[in-house]
Structure 1
Amino acid sequence: MEKRDAHIHSPFCPHGTKDSFEEYIEQAIKKGFSSITFTEHAPLPSSFDDPAPLQDSAIKLEDVEPYIMEIKRLKEQYKNKITIKTGFEIDYIAGFEEETEEFLNKYGPHLDDSILSVHFLQCQHKWICIDYSPDTFAEAIRLTGGIDEVYQLYFDQVLKSIQAELGPFKPKRVGHITLAAKFKKKYPPFQSFSASIMEILREIKEKGYELDMNTAGLRKPLCREIYPNLDILKLAKQLEIPLVFGSDAHQAKELGADYPLIQDFI
């Protein structure tokens, strides 16, 4: 079985570290990975204002080609040591599907492997980056009327992302479907949302998509669980949904983090 980390960020990430591509790659080789995918945050639609306080959610459009070219160079440099794939983490933002599809149509031919994720929720008339901080999550709670309302809105958007028409280069892997749980120890939900989660899993199965097994939540002090958690991963495995490990590393030392915990699901 191929040992693969398929959710990795890079020095291009505005909210990550400046660890070099080579540091990530050498870490992967050291840990025995045979394949990695760089999935940098793709530029947000030009008509969408990044709601993150520092507006650092994604790379700029002018960085896309340098990012792709750098990975192309590294593929050749390391071709005898490890498989390196070019990817993006694409944000699904309701109402901005057309611009997202235009981006994918332009750059999709250069990509090997990508992820479709939800980070932004429209809470009343304001967009919130819900995983930015406990404070931004609290604002989402205030605007929607409750913790459960934020969770439900998040799951609704994940389902919508899976169903969305984004063209032939739409990512086939769905990212961190329980990201709403990032601050669960401070803002615990009152419901399990099992019906919404099952609906998401069935839609992933029906579309023939993959699921991101994302260990970043284990490194978050107010979460301490995988996105999605082990119970959901068991359901996904029962449905025979392809499960793909992703460390969601934003610094080289995080690459491959907690891989042993998900080995049984691969």
Structure 2
Amino acid sequence: MEKRDAHIHTPYCPHGAKDKFEEYIEQALIKGFSSITFTEHAPLPHSFADPTPLKDSAMKEEDVEPYIIEINRLKEQYKNEITIKTGFEVDYIAGFEEETQDFLNRYGPQLDDSILSVHFIKCHDQWLCIDYSPDTFSEAIRLTGGADHVYQLYFNQVLKSIRADLGPFKPRRIGHITLAAKFQKKYPPSHSFSSSITEILKEIKEKRYELDMNTAGLRKPLCREIYPRPDILTAAKQMGIPLVFGSDAHHAKELGADYSLIQEYL
């Protein structure tokens, strides 16, 4: 079985470490990975205003070509040691589908393997980055009336992302579908949202997409849980949905983190 980490960030991430590409690759080699995918946060749509305080949610448009060129160079340099794939983590933002499709049409032919994720939800007229901080999540609760409402908004957007027409280069893997749980120990929901999760899994299955099996939540002190949680992974596996491990590393040392905990699902 191929040992693969398919959700890795890079020095182009404005909210991550500045570890070099080579540091990530060397970690992958040390840990015995045979395949990795760099999935930097794709630039946000031009007409969408990043709601985070530092406007640092995604890489800059002018960095896209250098990013692709650098990975192509590394593919050649390490071709006898490891498979390296070029990808993005693309944000699905409701109402900005046309711009997202334009980006994918422009760069899609140069990509190997990408992720479609939801980070932003609209609470009334205000966009918020769901995973930015506990304070931001608290603001979402204030605007919507409760943690349950925030979770439901998030799951609604994930479902919409799966159904969205983003053209022929739409990512086939759906990212961290339970990211709303990042601050669950401080802001717990009242129930498991099993019907919403089931609908999401059925849609992923029908579209023949993959599911990001993301261990980053285990490293978050207010989460301590895989995205998605183990019962959802079990259900997805039983449905025959391909599960793809991703460390969601933003530092080289995080590459492959907690891989041993998800091996049973692979």
Scaled to the shorter chain, the TM-score interval is over 0.9
Which runs of structure 2 are paired with 1:64-143 in the superposition (5 Å)?
64-143=64-143
Which runs of structure 2 are paired with 1:183-194 in the superposition (5 Å)?
183-194=183-194
Structure 2 counterpart of 1:244: 244
Opposite residue 216 of structure 1, the aligned amino acid is A
The structural deviation recorded for 1:264 is 1.0
Provide Cα deviations, 1:34-78, integer angstroms capped at 9, x if missing partner: 000000000000000000111100001000000000000000000
Opposite residue 195 of structure 2, the aligned amino acid is A
Runs of 4+ in structure 1 deviating by more than 3 angstroms, as ranges, are: none
Q: Would you say 1:38 and 2:35 are equivalent positions?
A: no
Opposite residue 99 of structure 1, the aligned amino acid is E
Opposite residue 34 of structure 2, the aligned amino acid is S
Opposite residue 163 of structure 1, the aligned amino acid is R
Distance 1:192 1:255 in 2: 29
Distance 2:68 2:140 in 1: 35
Distance 1:71 1:102 in 2: 22
The structural deviation recorded for 1:247 is 0.1
Provide Cα deviations, 1:191-217, integer angstroms capped at 9, x if missing partner: 110000000000000000000000000
Where 1:116 maps in the other structure, the secondary structure is strand
% identical aligned pairs? 80
TM-score, length of structure 1 as denominator length: 1.00
Distance 1:259 1:210 in 2: 18
Structure 2 counterpart of 1:25: 25
Distance 1:201 1:151 in 2: 16
The structural deviation recorded for 1:261 is 0.6
Distance 2:189 2:54 in 1: 28
Structure 2 counterpart of 1:256: 256
Distance 1:184 1:236 in 2: 22
Structure 1 counterpart of 2:212: 212
Which runs of structure 2 are paired with 1:141-220 in the superposition (5 Å)?
141-220=141-220
Provide Cα deviations, 1:96-139, integer angstroms capped at 9, x if missing partner: 00000000000000000000000000000000001000000000
Opposite residue 229 of structure 1, the aligned amino acid is R
Distance 1:101 1:206 in 2: 21
Distance 1:202 1:148 in 2: 22
Opposite residue 191 of structure 1, the aligned amino acid is H
Opposite residue 28 of structure 1, the aligned amino acid is A
Provide Cα deviations, 1:132-158, integer angstroms capped at 9, x if missing partner: 000000000111111000000000000
Structure 2 counterpart of 1:14: 14
Q: How many residues align?
A: 266
Distance 1:229 1:28 in 2: 25
Opposite residue 230 of structure 1, the aligned amino acid is P
Provide Cα deviations, 1:145-176, integer angstroms capped at 9, x if missing partner: 11000000000000000000000000000000
Unaligned residue ranges in structure 1 (runs of 5+): none
Distance 1:164 1:79 in 2: 35
Structure 2 counterpart of 1:225: 225
The structural deviation recorded for 1:190 is 0.4
TM-score, length of structure 2 as denominator length: 1.00
Opposite residue 242 of structure 2, the aligned amino acid is P
Opposite residue 173 of structure 1, the aligned amino acid is R
Unaligned residue ranges in structure 2 (runs of 5+): none
